Chain A
Amino acid sequence: MTMHTTKSDETIVAQVKAGDADAYATLMERYEAKLIRYVVYLIHDTVSAHDVVQDTFIKAYQNLQAFNPKYKFSSWLYRIAHNEAMNVIKKNRHITDYDIETLPEAGYDQRLEELIDNDALKAHVHECLDKLDVKYREVIQLIYFERMKYEEVSDVLHIPASTVGVWASRAKAKLKNICEQKGVKR
């Protein structure tokens, strides 16, 4: 398995397509933790998030022949996770904030703090993010937590890159507002 670790995702996908099913485990190892974090922030339920991630990996495997290696595998995988998470959100409108608070502090891009211009945000960023609409929260999460470029976010959310920019800008403004309302001061 270690022999796959230096290979790109797309190379491993080609191996899996060619019949090396074991190589798929490497891809799962690379993305499990990231996807769990991503999905927990979307649906606020750790148990369901694990189910969503498992379904994501199964669907990704089933549809691997549809993946175009010209594009990034990670964006394609996140898109599947996004769809699965949205299905859960549609089914369960009543979600709690409990699970999101129990998550370990994930590293996020320092630009988020700079943009919000708030030192105290570091301790409260998840709390503030939690109050954002799902679509804005997801954009912030993908850009600043998953460190994706606008083009990649566009592939995950299936919206034009220009719209990603607009949503990110609105999300930052709203996030700043929420943090101020919650009493998070400089």
Chain B
Amino acid sequence: MKQQDTTSISTSVMDKIKNGKVHMRPRLYYAALSIVTIGAVILSGITVTYLLSIAFFWLRIITSDTMAYGARANFNEAVASFPWWTLALAALLLTAAILLVRKQGRIYKHKTSSIVILIIISSLVLGFGLSFVVMDPHTPGVNDRPGQGWREKR
């Protein structure tokens, strides 16, 4: 009975394969999936880092010894022109990236806590670094933009 059942599974599957009811997915499908995964990881990384850089910039302003007018102006400008829909995009991309990486990669070989700590630390470091580069009024060129004449040039 067992042998019969076992044989019927093989036969049934082979019949489906030979009758064309079951197809092997092409390599192109997996190549496309890998590209989408890598793209989602990169985009979510950039978005999260940029959001963190704004947060860090704000923290640096409120903890500053001076009024930091230039920095505040830059921060307000960044917040006013910030496309808030990227928050939803970041959440969506992060979810997609996590799902795709879990499905395709071998990230499970490492402890979840280690991966989470690594992601948090790298995001914080990059976000902190970016807060100096992108919006800092001391960055060369930032105060040279047209319409910024009321600020003192350094």
Tell me the residues in window 69-102 of chain A with beta carbons closer than 8 Å to chain B beta carbons: none
Q: Which residues of A are interface residues toward B (Cβ below 8 A)?
A: 16-17, 21-22, 24-25, 28-29, 32-33, 36, 50, 53-54, 57-58, 61-66, 104, 154, 158-163
**Contact partner, A61, options B6, B12, B17, B111, Cβ 8 Å:** B17
Contacts of B26 in A (CB 8 A): 65
Contacts of A36 in B (CB 8 A): 5-6
Q: Are A58 and B22 in contact (CB under 8 A)?
A: yes
Bound form: Cα–Cα A33–B17 in Å: 20
Q: Are B24 and A61 in contact (CB under 8 A)?
A: yes
Tell me the residues in window 1-33 of chain B with beta carbons closer than 8 Å to chain A beta carbons: 2, 5-6, 9-10, 12-14, 16-18, 22-27, 29-30
Residue B150 is within 8 A (CB to CB) of chain A in the complex: no
Q: A61-B24, A162-B111 are in contact. Are A21 and B30 (CB under 8 A)?
A: no
Number of contacts between A and B (CB, 8 Å)?
68
Main secondary structure of the interface of A (DSSP, over half): helix
Q: Are B111 and A160 in contact (CB under 8 A)?
A: yes
Q: Which residues of B are interface residues toward A (Cβ below 8 A)?
A: 2, 5-6, 9-10, 12-14, 16-18, 22-27, 29-30, 102, 104, 108-111
Contacts of A33 in B (CB 8 A): 2, 6
Nearest to A33 among chain B residues (CB) is B6
Q: A25-B14, A154-B109, A159-B108 are in contact. Are A64 and B9 (CB under 8 A)?
A: no
| 8 A-B pairs in the complex with CB atoms less than 8 angstroms apart | A21-B18, A54-B12, A58-B22, A63-B25, A64-B24, A65-B27, A154-B108, A160-B108
Q: Knowing that A24-B14, A154-B109 are A-B contacts, what are 14 other residue pairs whose CB atoms are under 8 Å apart, sorted by A's residue number?
A: A17-B24, A24-B13, A25-B14, A32-B6, A33-B6, A53-B9, A54-B12, A54-B13, A57-B10, A61-B24, A62-B25, A63-B24, A160-B110, A162-B111
Main secondary structure of the interface of B (DSSP, over half): helix
Q: A50-B5, A65-B30 are in contact. Are A32 and B17 (CB under 8 A)?
A: no
Nearest to A104 among chain B residues (CB) is B2
**Contact partner, A32, options B9, B22, B27, B108, Cβ 8 Å:** B9
Looking at the assembled complex, report how far the CB atom of A32 sits from the nearest CB atom of chain B, in whole angstroms.
5
Q: Are B22 and A161 in contact (CB under 8 A)?
A: no
Bound form: Cα–Cα A162–B111 in Å: 9
Contacts of B16 in A (CB 8 A): 58
Looking at the assembled complex, report how far the CB atom of A139 sits from the nearest CB atom of chain B, in whole angstroms.
15
Q: Are B24 and A158 in contact (CB under 8 A)?
A: no
Contacts of B110 in A (CB 8 A): 160
Nearest 4 A/B pairs, CB to CB: A158-B108, A28-B10, A57-B13, A32-B6
Contacts of A65 in B (CB 8 A): 24-27, 29-30
